Amino acid sequence: MNVKNTLTINGNEYHFQDGETILEVARRNHIDIPTLCYLKGTTPTGACRLCVVEVEKARSLMASCAMPAAKNMVVQTESKKVIQSRRTTLQLLLSSGNHNCLLCPKSGNCELQNLAYKYQVSGDMFVQRKSVYPMESVNPFIIRDFSKCILCGRCVQACKEVQVNNAIDIGYRGASTKIVTAGDRTLKDSDCVFCGECVQACPVGALVAKDARFKARLCETEPVRTTCTYCGVGCQINLHVKNNQVQMINGVEDAAPNYGSLCVKGRFGYDFINSPERLTTPMIKENGNFREASWDEALDLIAKNLTHIKETHSPNHIGVLTSARITNEENYVIQKFTRAVLKTNNIDHCARL
């Protein structure tokens, strides 16, 4: 870091690195500047104008997410002029669509709602704009409610710069502006792979997981961190749980290897967790029917049958198939058991098939 690179924020001097924005310097030093359009790791757009700050000698308020820090810059993040600008911007956003927090599934976890509460504003100052686009719910994973969209562009940034899928963009102009796919088709008919990156990036209730709708809201759940079991990448996820039932899944944004990103299976394929069809006890088949058994009885039967096959035929008559849904350590133990105990190399893995 160049020690000569310093700027002043709210009367205090801070160092900055070449290329850092005012917002990045502020957040690194625990100075709160509100944002809605800013998405970490993507190109800042300055679209929402909530992150504006007052820069000495500048003719107007500057968007801190896009304004590079400069030597000897003097910045005010909470001046009267800044606060009034943010309040007006929030009032405009609240009147831009249907932001009925009482019925919104995002309530309690909505960034717009939180900022409206913080700055004590409502959408009554301006005439509410009615959405010209109906809700889209024809795909099995994501509901798009255009009446709640504030056109912050975070979903587009997530799709283009994080996932690099390029399935959506900002289309049309003026009051008709909306987030569109190629040809303005529905998501199910577009290039969308339903990774859900846009759902996690959305700061309001414009994009919600279909399976999570009409369930517990996110603020009512308890996050339980775990590892996705669908493959061997080891993506970190939060299971949002209420009454011992998984309500929805989000990626852990500050943890490797995925940093919040998930595939369609990891984000939406969790129904099996609480499925009534899951086995909860071992089953032994007798006379063509299954019956419940204890673990000791089931393991004794497995050991007896494996020993019988080894002694009657040979170890090479036994084959073992392991799963990507268990840990590397468990897979190691299984192959060790296969080779050292069963005395065969007939072991394979489902991820290789």
Mean pLDDT by 10 residues, the chain (353 residues): 81 95 97 96 93 95 96 96 97 90 85 95 84 92 95 97 96 94 96 96 95 86 92 90 93 95 95 90 95 96 96 96 86 96 94 70
Encoded tokens for 89: 């911007």
Domain borders along the chain are 6-78, 217-278, 283-352
The pTM for the full model equals 0.84
Nearest to 268 by CA among 90, 139, 144: 139
The CATH number of domain 217-278, selected from 2.60.120.10, 1.10.3720.10, 2.20.25.90, 2.40.10.120: 2.20.25.90
The size of the chain, in residues, is: 353
CA dihedral for 69, 115, 28, 14, sign (positive or negative): positive
176-186 confidence digits (pLDDT tens): 999 999 999 99
CATH of domain 6-78: 3.10.20.740
* pLDDT given at position 10: 97
* pLDDT given at position 130: 83
DSSP-derived 3-state class of residue 225: strand
How far apart are alpha carbons 268 and 202 in whole angstroms?
16
